[in-house]
Amino acid sequence: MLTPAQRSHYVDHGWLLVEGFKPAPALAAVRSRAQQIVDNFDPGHQRAVFSSVQPERVADAALIASAEAVHCFFEEEALDAGGRLVVPKSRSINKIGHALHDLDPVFDAFSHGPELAAVASGLGLVQPLLQQSMVIFKQPGIGGEVRWHQDASFFVTEPVSVTTFWFALEGADEGNGCLWVQSGGHRTPLRERFVRDGDRLAMEKLDPMPWPTTSQATALPVKAGDLVCFHGLLPHCSAANRSPRSRLAYTLHVTDAGCAYSPRNWLQRTRLPLRGFV
């Protein structure tokens, strides 16, 4: 349940920090499950790298298939030019995506429940649909930069409805690549969109408005268990993690069933039905 002050903070700034939202045992369960998924992942036949700086470098087929599966994507700096791992596998993964919340029982439990439904309702989502989930590792030393972007670029609905639920599974600060946002930037236009054309994915330019300057950016340091919610048009980014500390996070991207979901969006469900928080 959000207070009126929390709701108005979200409306004014485009983001909301809910401290201590998830208890320690729930965090421990998903951290351990994420490590199990990586341990069980056989990198022998898959070398999909995820780079937000050059998203076209992601193997399109792997990304498209991950909409209804659980895939591991490598950090760019984890592989050499020949595609060989240069760090231990346990430290090589950029993210796991994108249907953990539907296919994995541990992440399913973490991603659903009346507390999350209440937050979604407080943020204005009438009929939430959980489109995707990701574990984002931001590995010590090699965790890549995520450049300025708006999450609505990946989930176009009419009108805009996508809302991000960003759970800190570990503490994050400026030293290990925490989130940066442009407070109030959810009132700026959608700059670009990531579209699917057959088997190809591409980023299309929509609006020439420049990304925020450093002086317009606000760091959002968080403790493990905190939840950050933000509007789909809010520009945000995170720096590379050059520290020896990991910065594990879990995200859900949620749209409203009352808003038309574009058939050009990269993520399309064909088999798995979409669900809400309860």
Kindly tell me which of 77 and 151 has the beta carbon lying closer to Fe ion.
151
Kindly tell me which of 134 and 259 has the beta carbon lying closer to Fe ion.
134
Nearest distance from C-beta of residue 97 to Fe ion, angstroms: 12
Angle at 247 between CA 213 and CA 45, to 5 degrees: 105
Cα dihedral 43→46→72→37 (10° resolution): -40
Task: Report the distance separating Cα 88 and Cα 37, nearest Å.
Answer: 15
Task: Report the distance separating Cα 12 and Cα 125, nearest Å.
Answer: 16
Q: Please report the DSSP string for 102-156 in residue order.
A: HH-HHHHHHH-SHHHHHHHHHTT-SSEEEEEEEEE---TTTBPPEEEE-GGGTS-
Task: Report the distance separating Cα 131 and Cα 8, nearest Å.
Answer: 25
> Candidates 74-82, 131-139, 144-152, 204-212 — which segment interacts with Fe ion by CB under 5 A?
144-152
DSSP 162: -
Kindly tell me which of 38 and 179 has the beta carbon lying closer to Fe ion.
179
Kindly tell me which of 151 and 226 has the beta carbon lying closer to Fe ion.
151
> Candidates 23-31, 99-107, 146-154, 204-212 — which segment interacts with Fe ion by CB under 5 A?
146-154
Q: In this structure, which amino acid lies at residue 153? A: S
Kindly tell me which of 151 and 256 has the beta carbon lying closer to Fe ion.
151
Nearest distance from C-beta of residue 238 to Fe ion, angstroms: 9
Establish if 151 lies at the interface with Fe ion (CB under 5 A).
Answer: yes
Task: Report how many residues bind Fe ion under the rule CB under 5 A.
Answer: 1
For 10, the token pair is: 């979200």
> Candidates 126-134, 148-156, 202-210, 223-231 — which segment interacts with Fe ion by CB under 5 A?
148-156
Nearest distance from C-beta of residue 151 to Fe ion, angstroms: 4
Nearest distance from C-beta of residue 236 to Fe ion, angstroms: 6
> Candidates 15-23, 68-76, 143-151, 219-227 — which segment interacts with Fe ion by CB under 5 A?
143-151
Q: Treating both helix axes as pointing N-terminal to C-terminal, what angle do 4-13 and 114-122 enclose, rounded to 10 degrees?
A: 60
Q: Please, what sign has the CA dihedral across residues 264, 267, 272, 275?
A: negative
Nearest distance from C-beta of residue 108 to Fe ion, angstroms: 22
Query: For binding to Fe ion (CB under 5 A), which residues are involved?
Result: 151
